[in-house]
Amino acid sequence: MSQTTSSSVSEQEIARFGQLARDWWDPQGPMRPLHDMNPLRTRWVEERVRPLQDVGHKSLRLLDIGCGAGLASEAFAKFGFEVCGLDASPDGIEAARAHVATYPLPAGAGDLSYRCGSAEELCAEKQTFDVVTALEVIEHVTDPQQFMHLLASLTRPGGMVCVSTMNRTLRALAVAKIGAEYIARLLPKGTHDWKKFIKPDELAAMGRAAGLRMTDIAGMSFTPTMWRTTRDTSINYIAMFTRG
C-alpha cells in the first residue's frame, strides 16, 4: 500500500504509510484489514503461479512491490518463493526487517530480502522476476498506466503479474471509503481516494497496453468471519496477468 516508484507515488503517500510502519504487524491495529485479507490474496497468487515452478523445477523469484512492512512478502517466502520485498518507505522496510529478525521464517521457507527503493531502480539494473505482485498499491500511484509498464518491464517473458485493488463503483465508495474509514474506522481517514479506484476493464486495458494479458480475476469479499473469493468484483478484486 505504500510507495513503489519515486516518480509515480507522491511523497505524501510515503509519509502516510511510513507513519503506520511501527503498527503494521499489529493484527488489531490500523493494518487489520490487510492482515485479514492476506491469507486469501497470497494463496490465490500461489495457486496460479505454481505451474511456473513446475516447469522450471526451481524456486520462483518473486518481487513484491509496495511491500510495506512485509505482510505478503513473508507469506510468499513461506510458500517457498525467493522473495524481494520492495518499498520506498524507509520506515516500512525497517519494520519488515525487524519483524523477520524477531520472528525468523520456518525451515523450508524461501529466501527473503528487502530493499528500500523504487521500481525504476530495478528496471535500470535490468532485473526481472518470474512473478511480480502489487497488492493494494496501484490505487495509490499517480500514473497507473506507467505503473503497469513498470510491472511488465520487471517480469520475464512468460512470467506473471498480480494486481489487487478496488473498483470505482458507488458501492466501493460507500463500503471501502466511507464505511471503512469514517464509520467502522477500520482504516485511517484519508487512506484511499475513491477517484483513483480502477475498474476491472480499465485495468485489463492498461495491462494490454503494457504487453500483459489478463488471465484470471476474482472478487474479494468479506463475510462475518473471513475473506473469500467471489464473482463479485464491485469492491475489492484481484487479477492475474501473463507477460507475452
Q: Three cell numbers at 217?
A: 480475476
Residue 168 assigned ligand-binding role: no
58-84 pLDDT, tens per residue?
899 999 999 999 999 999 999 999 999
Query: Residue with C-alpha cell 481516494?
Result: 193
Mean pLDDT over each residue of the chain, to the nearest integer: 89
Residue 5 domain-assigned? no
The answer to the question of residue 3 being in a domain is no
pLDDT tens digits for range 154-180: 999 999 999 999 999 998 888 776 655
pLDDT band at 31; cut points 50, 70, 90? confident
Contact 32, 184 (CB under 8 A): no
User: Does residue 140 belong to any structural domain of this protein?
Assistant: yes
Quick one: pLDDT band at residue 3, thresholds 50, 70, 90? very low
Q: Which domain holds residue 137?
A: 11-243
Residue 135 among known ligand-binding residues: yes
For residue 188 the three cell numbers come to 485511517
* pLDDT > 90: percent of the chain: 70
For residue 1, being part of any structural domain is answered with no
User: What is the rounded average pLDDT of the residues 231-244?
Assistant: 96
With respect to residue 186, please indicate whether it lies within any of the assigned structural domains: yes
87 assigned to a ligand binding site: yes
CB count in 10 Å sphere of residue 149 = 19
Q: What is the CATH number of the domain that holds 113?
A: 3.40.50.150
What is the pLDDT at residue 224?
74
Instruction: Tell whether 73 is covered by a domain.
Output: yes
Into how many domains does the chain fold? 1
| 207 annotated to bind ligand | no
Task: Answer whether residue 185 is part of any domain.
Answer: yes
Number of H helices and number of E strands within the chain?
8, 8
| In-domain check, residue 6 | no
Q: How many residues does the chain have?
A: 244
Nearest alpha-carbon partner for 49 in 71, 96, 82: 82
